[in-house]
Structure 1
Amino acid sequence: MDSGSVALLRELLAGTGWLERTRELGLALRATRSPGGLLVVGTPDDEPWHVTAHLADEARYSGLPQLTPTLLRWSPPPDAPPHLRVGIERLEQAGRGETLFVLSEQQAPVPLLERVNDARRTGATILAIEGGDRELAGLAHDAIEVPREGPMTFDGAQHLVSAAAGEAGQRPGLRERLARLLDKVSGPRLTD
């Protein structure tokens, strides 16, 4: 998806809340401390190549080396290039300052959930885009659920999150987040 398509998607989703949620998750990805510390993993049947490539582009274009992702693979071929040979066992070394970005459109398999739980216990920040998996959402520090029905697709969410990760700007402060929360709870506010 090119930048024009992302802009069109943003226009179509304006006012739905999706832009704000994907922006928050994208900005959370930026909290990773160092290049290679953003670990991206999917299920054994669905490796997140696409979002990994977009995050690599965003890291390069935005000058944010901490967005440089490390794709974790369940069964990397031994003859693959080094950056495509990183196995799921890398999660055993995940720790503070690193972010584990989990993408699972279907129910996450138990081995993935166990590894995510281990990475969380060793201090990694867990972020996820998931398709209604309560266990995965419960393990994540922040997650976006993409229902099968609705205006957002799983692929669209990945594009918006990766684009937001590379955008200029900072994560909203406490006051801005509280104001948004109050707006959601109480509806529009009158201001002086």
Structure 2
Amino acid sequence: MDSGSVAFLREILAETGWLERARELGLALRATRSPGGLLLVGTPDDEPWHLTAHLADEARLSGLAQLTPTLVRWDPPPGAPAHLSVGLDRLERAARGETLFVLSEEQAPVPLLERVDDARRTGATILAIEGGDRELAGLAHDAIAVPRDGLITFDGAQHLVSAAAGELEQRPRLRDRLARLLDKVSGPQIAD
């Protein structure tokens, strides 16, 4: 999906709440402390190659090195290049300041849920894009559920989140939003 398609998707979804949720998850991804600390894992039959590539691009284009993802694979082949040979054992070393981003359009398999639970217990932040998996959503600190018959596809949600993670413009802080709201409510101040 190119930037024009993402812009069109954003326009269509402007009033649905999807963009806000994607931005929240994108900002949560940015909270990863260091390059290599953003771990992406999918299911045995669906590894998140596409999202890994998009986040790597966003890291490079935005200058946010912490968005550089580590693809965690279920069964990396022997002799694979270093960046393609990270196995599930990496999740055992997940720590505070790292983020485990789980993508599972179907029900997450029990071995994945166990590893996600272990990573959460060691202090890693758990984020997910999931297809209605209550167990995975319950383990995640933040998750977006993508219903099969919804406005957006699973792939579309990934594109929105990766684009939001790389946005250079951040959402205003709560204090700034409250100040603007108070200005609107109280109107202009007139001196006596």
Q: TM-score, normalised to structure 2's length?
A: 0.91
> Amino acid of the residue matched to residue 7 of structure 2?
A
5+ residue gaps, structure 1? 180-189
2:18 is aligned to 18
Give distance in 2, aligned partners of 1:45 and 1:3.
Answer: 28
Q: Following TM superposition, by how much is the alpha carbon of 1:191 offset from its aligned partner in structure 2, in angstroms?
A: 3.4
1:191 is aligned to 185
- Helix, strand or coil: the match of 1:27? helix
1:140-165 per-residue CA deviation (whole Å, 9 max, x = no partner) reads: 00000000111111000000000000
Q: Following TM superposition, by how much is the alpha carbon of 1:173 offset from its aligned partner in structure 2, in angstroms?
A: 3.2
Identity of aligned residues (%): 84
> Amino acid of the residue matched to residue 86 of structure 1?
V
Q: TM-score, normalised to structure 1's length?
A: 0.91
The verdict on how the C-alpha distance between 1:176 and 1:124 changes in structure 2, with shifts beyond 3 A counting, is farther
Give distance in 2, aligned partners of 1:171 and 1:81.
Answer: 38
The verdict on how the C-alpha distance between 1:38 and 1:175 changes in structure 2, with shifts beyond 3 A counting, is same
Give distance in 2, aligned partners of 1:63 and 1:35.
Answer: 11
Answer yes or no: is the 8 Å Cα contact 1:10–1:19 preserved in 2: yes
- Helix, strand or coil: the match of 1:71? strand
Give distance in 1, aligned partners of 2:39 and 2:171.
Answer: 20
1:70-123 per-residue CA deviation (whole Å, 9 max, x = no partner) reads: 000000001211100000110000001100000000000000000000000000
1:76 is aligned to 76
Answer yes or no: is the 8 Å Cα contact 1:28–1:171 preserved in 2: no
**How many residue pairs were aligned?**
182
> Amino acid of the residue matched to residue 191 of structure 1?
V
- Helix, strand or coil: the match of 2:185? coil
Q: Following TM superposition, by how much is the alpha carbon of 1:175 offset from its aligned partner in structure 2, in angstroms?
A: 4.9
Q: Which has the larger radius of gyration?
A: 2
